[in-house]
């Protein structure tokens, strides 16, 4: 049976190549692409993932019918190169030609052609028809090292205390905040940040990757091949208080700065982490056991959230869907069905999960952006998921969502309600005292309440009850029936 995709979560290795190469300002990419593959990867999508107006150092060969029809893309790439050269846009730049799904489809191999272009021009066959963005990023980082770093790295000495960060690239969710926090942790443990590859470095500097004593890999999804090649000890960027503490201690051990790392941890407990301790000791943590969670994101984020929210704070994790998925794990089809059936209180995910929530009418669940695809500004450095600051940010967002849920159920006098506001209208208080509910009707109400955040249940219970009773009175019924309760509560969910 042929494979069917529902709402793709991962893009291709062509995107990985562009998004990994173009953050470096001394690179210019010619993408061997039709107009669409250029526009989407360089403007339409990074406008809304990385909040950049457009990626400036990329130019398309603009594949048209002529190239597809038999002439191949060689001439178009050459013409593009000549235009760039004549405009002076390649001065001080390393030119890289990157294949796309369409150029691969018509078998365009430009390995030889690039030798006729600016000296040192290379061709990166992105394997876009077979590899996903994660495999692609891993491969392109290694390829960049082999082509632009390794040769000059012989004889470079490792310098004590220097730490590389491998990843992020464009298109990595929440990268600025997480990167900011990881840098802070490295410095806290006594290290110095060396190269942040490729997000904040020049291609000309990547030889210096060889200087670092330790490599920190931001994401599990890519960077391991390069880290293994570099050969120094490797750590992963951490989540949660437990994970971050271990990370700091390990880094301290590797750098020989364990005492400094331990002192930093102690200092963090009294500063950054004081808010987690306060929220834990306060009434907020009492809601955690009833705050159910679903997570669909990169494996890095899924496992990080699961360990912090689930293992450390004790929230029930109802589903996880790590990307890229493995056999036996939930795909989008399964996530969609899960959300349609019983959406958790908080759903961490991409716009795909948000759409499934909209389809399900899951208005009582809250969507927590945690992955691309989806339009999201993540440029503030104050929204980390990783590190100690991540633990504070995550808990703060969760508690504020619960406050929101409670607020939306508190009674509001109907006289103040303005019909034009578009909000659900407050229910009119009836005048007939308590109405009898038959057992089936009570069960319907209980089931509806089960789906709500625990914190909101007292108010919600009253509110939903009143709505049903108001309808029963309007219909002149003597008691509330299951049928009526079901109808009113279904209308409520919209």
- Residues forming the site for another protein (CB under 8 A): 1-8, 10-15, 28, 34-41, 43-45, 47-48, 53-54, 56-57, 59-60, 62-65, 67-68, 80, 83-84, 86-89, 100-102, 105-106, 128-130, 132, 336, 351-352, 354-356, 358-359, 372-375
Cβ proximity to another protein, 61 vs 232, nearer residue: 61
Within 10 A of 109 (CB to CB), how many other CB atoms are there? 14
d(CA 464, CA 441): 12
Closest contact distance (angstroms) between CB of 411 and another protein is 31
Token output for 482: 């299951």
Alpha helices in 361-481 (DSSP H): 387-409, 439-450, 457-474
Closest contact distance (angstroms) between CB of 363 and another protein is 13
Closest contact distance (angstroms) between CB of 321 and another protein is 15
Closest contact distance (angstroms) between CB of 95 and another protein is 12
Closest contact distance (angstroms) between CB of 77 and another protein is 12
Specify whether the CB–CB gap between 29 and 21 falls below 8 A. yes
Helix (H) or strand (E) holding 137: helix 133-148
d(CA 164, CA 186): 10
Helix (H) or strand (E) holding 124: strand 122-124
Cβ proximity to another protein, 82 vs 450, nearer residue: 82
d(CA 107, CA 32): 12
Cβ proximity to another protein, 65 vs 157, nearer residue: 65
Cβ proximity to another protein, 299 vs 393, nearer residue: 299
Cβ proximity to another protein, 358 vs 458, nearer residue: 358
Closest contact distance (angstroms) between CB of 344 and another protein is 19
d(CA 42, CA 150): 29
Cβ proximity to another protein, 29 vs 398, nearer residue: 29
The residues, ordered by sequence, that sit 6+ positions from 111 with a Cβ below 8 Å of its Cβ are 123, 125
Token output for 266: 């102690």
Q: What angle do CA 302, 304, 306 make, to 5 degrees?
A: 65
Cβ proximity to another protein, 65 vs 439, nearer residue: 65
Closest contact distance (angstroms) between CB of 362 and another protein is 13
Cβ proximity to another protein, 293 vs 376, nearer residue: 376
Sign for the CA dihedral angle at 402, 403, 407, 408 comes to: negative
Sign for the CA dihedral angle at 152, 225, 55, 76 comes to: positive
d(CA 367, CA 349): 7
Closest contact distance (angstroms) between CB of 267 and another protein is 36
């Amino acid at each position: 049976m042929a494979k069917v995709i529902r709402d793709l979560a991962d893009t291709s290795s062509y995107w990985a190549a562009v998004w990994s190469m173009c953050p470096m300002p001394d690179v210019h990419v010619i993408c061997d692409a039709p107009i669409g593959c250029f526009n989407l990867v360089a403007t339409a999508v990074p406008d809304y993932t990385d909040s950049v107006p457009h990626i400036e150092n990329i130019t398309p060969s603009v594949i048209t019918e002529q190239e597809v029809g038999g002439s191949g893309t060689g001439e178009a790439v050459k013409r593009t190169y000549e235009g760039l050269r004549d405009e002076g846009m390649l001065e001080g730049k390393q030119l890289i030609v990157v294949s796309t799904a369409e150029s691969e489809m018509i078998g365009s191999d430009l390995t030889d052609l690039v030798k006729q272009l600016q000296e040192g021009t290379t061709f990166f066959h992105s394997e876009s028809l077979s590899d996903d963005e994660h495999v692609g990023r891993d491969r392109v980082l290694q390829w960049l090292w082999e082509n632009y770093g390794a040769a000059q790295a012989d004889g470079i000495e490792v310098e004590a205390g220097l730490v590389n960060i491998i990843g992020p690239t464009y298109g990595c969710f929440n990268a600025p905040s997480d990167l900011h926090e990881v840098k802070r942790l490295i410095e806290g443990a006594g290290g110095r940040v060396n190269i942040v590859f490729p997000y904040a470095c020049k291609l000309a500097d990547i030889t210096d990757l060889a200087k670092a004593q330790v490599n920190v890999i931001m994401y599990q999804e890519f960077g391991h091949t390069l880290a293994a090649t570099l050969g120094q000890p490797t750590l992963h960027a951490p989540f949660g208080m437990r994970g971050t503490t271990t990370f700091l201690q390990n880094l301290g051990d590797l750098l020989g700065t364990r005492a400094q790392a331990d002192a930093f941890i102690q200092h963090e407990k009294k500063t950054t982490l004081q808010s987690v301790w306060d929220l834990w000791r306060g009434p907020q943590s009492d809601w955690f056991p009833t705050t159910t969670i679903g997570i669909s994101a990169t494996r890095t984020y899924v496992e990080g959230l699961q360990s912090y929210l689930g293992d450390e704070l004790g929230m029930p994790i109802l589903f996880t869907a790590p990307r890229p998925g493995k056999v036996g794990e939930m795909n989008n089809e399964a996530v969609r069905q899960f959300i349609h059936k019983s959406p958790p209180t908080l759903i961490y995910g991409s716009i795909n999960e948000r759409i499934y929530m909209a389809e399900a009418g899951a208005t009582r669940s809250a969507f927590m952006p945690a992955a691309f695809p989806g339009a999201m500004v993540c440029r503030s450095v104050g929204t980390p998921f990783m590190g100690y600051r991540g633990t504070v940010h995550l808990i703060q967002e969760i508690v504020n969502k619960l406050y929101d849920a409670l607020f939306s159920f508190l009674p509001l006098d109907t006289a103040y309600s303005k019909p034009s506001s578009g909000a659900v209208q407050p229910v009119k208080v009836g005048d007939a005292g308590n109405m009898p509910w038959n057992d089936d009707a009570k069960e319907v109400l209980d089931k509806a309440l089960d789906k709500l955040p625990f914190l909101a249940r007292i108010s919600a219970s009253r509110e939903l009850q009143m709505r049903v009773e108001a309808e029963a009175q309007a219909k002149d019924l003597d008691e509330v029936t299951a049928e009526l309760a079901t109808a009113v509560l279904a209308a409520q969910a919209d």
